[in-house]
Amino acid sequence: MDKLISDLKSQIVTQLNLQDIKPEDIGDDQPLFVEGLGLDSIDALELIVLLQQQYKIKLSNADEGPKVFRTVRTMAEYITAHQVQNS
Amino acid sequence: MISKGIVTKNGQPVFEGGALEPSDFLISAYRHFGLQYPRFYKMDNIGKLGWLANEVLLQDGFDKEKYPAKEVGIVLSNASSSLDTDIKYYETVKTIPSPALFVYTLPNIVIGEISIRYGFKGENAFFIFDDFNAGFIEQYVSGLVNNNILQACICGWVEWLEGNYKAALFLVEKDKTKDSVTFTMENLTKIYQLQNG
């Protein structure tokens, strides 16, 4: 899980072009949106693309988005659960 | 004005980027001016160019509280519309389309970026011409100002295609200040040509 969380932080910084932020600056449980990292709705779409490109996972239910993308840890947990399902 | 690796304000160079690649030059200029706006990095190149040119234009001298937000407008123009980003977006369509690129596939998004930064809500428009059309800009903006639709207007040219770029922005205000240059087609042309490219 730690390796996945670390990879995700790097991928988020690259995919969202967060040039003033280093991956290690993002806390595992730091909210990604609004008061946390300050991501917006377009970033949310880019995170969906990231899941598809890097992990071959499609978000099946859009309503799950806020829960899945709450923090890097919740993203990692979703990926872990769905990679098991897909394998 | 931003062109050929140089940023100028009122004819004076305020930043020179040396031999940097055009997109790196914009980021270098952004950092040079000490700007803090993380959203800048997410913009496409024309967005970065126009946004940065506007920052330089309004820095040290423009009081946004002076006018109601609905009376500050933006009228821009260029030759290549959003083609630079359209091409990049088209490339992503072959695999997974990029939402972050898609939102920049219109030229007037740069107007939106400037408006978000300053809260401007006045009349805005983006026109496409082969070259900078000083006569049209002078007529169109004068119409807005003389008919009391706007008190102030940012206008000019913001062009970017495959690394060839030029931004020339002008601040037009209804009330003259001590350093004002009269808003005429001749003056627009003269200032635009100060930095050829």
pLDDT at A84: 67
Task: Report DSSP state, residue B72.
Answer: E
For chain B, the helix, strand and coil percentages under 3-state DSSP, each to the nearest 5? 45, 20, 35
User: In a mutagenesis test of the B interface, which of A26, A41, A43, A45 is the best target, namely the one with the most B β-carbons within 10 Å?
Assistant: A45
For residue B158, the enclosing domain spans 2-194
CATH code for the domain in which residue A28 is found: 1.10.1200.10
pLDDT at A85: 65
Please state whether beta strands B152-161 and B72-78 pair in parallel, antiparallel, or not at all (unpaired): parallel
User: For A45, which of B42, B95, B99 is closest by C-beta distance?
Assistant: B99
pLDDT tier for residue A87 given thresholds of 50, 70 and 90: low
Q: Does A84 touch chain B (CB under 8 A)?
A: no
Contacts B100 to A, Cβ<8 Å: 16-17, 42-43, 45-46
Instruction: Give A42 to chain B, closest Cα distance, Å.
Output: 6
Instruction: Give A9 to chain B, closest Cα distance, Å.
Output: 17
pLDDT at A70: 95
What's the rounded Cα separation, in Å, for the pair B10 and B56? Answer: 10
How many separate domains does chain A show? Answer: 1
User: In a mutagenesis test of the B interface, which of A42, A43, A46, A69 is the best target, namely the one with the most B β-carbons within 10 Å?
Assistant: A42
pLDDT in tens, A3-62: 999 999 999 999 998 888 899 999 999 999 987 788 888 999 999 999 999 999 998 788
**C-beta atoms of B41 and A38 within 8 A:** no
Contacts of B109 (CB under 8 A, 6+ apart): B44, B47, B82, B103
Q: What percent of chain B has pLDDT over 90?
A: 87
Contacts A22 to B, Cβ<8 Å: none
> What pTM was computed for the model?
0.90
**C-beta atoms of B41 and A18 within 8 A:** yes
CATH code for the domain in which residue B6 is found: 3.40.47.10
How many separate domains does chain B show? Answer: 1
For residue A27, the enclosing domain spans 2-86
Contact yes or no for B2/B29 (Cβ under 8 A): yes
**Residues in chain B with pLDDT values less than 50:** none
What's the rounded Cα separation, in Å, for the pair B155 and B98? Answer: 30
Q: Does B34 touch chain A (CB under 8 A)?
A: no
Please state whether beta strands B2-3 and B6-9 pair in parallel, antiparallel, or not at all (unpaired): antiparallel
Q: Does A42 touch chain B (CB under 8 A)?
A: yes
- Give the chain A residue nearest B102 (alpha carbons): A42
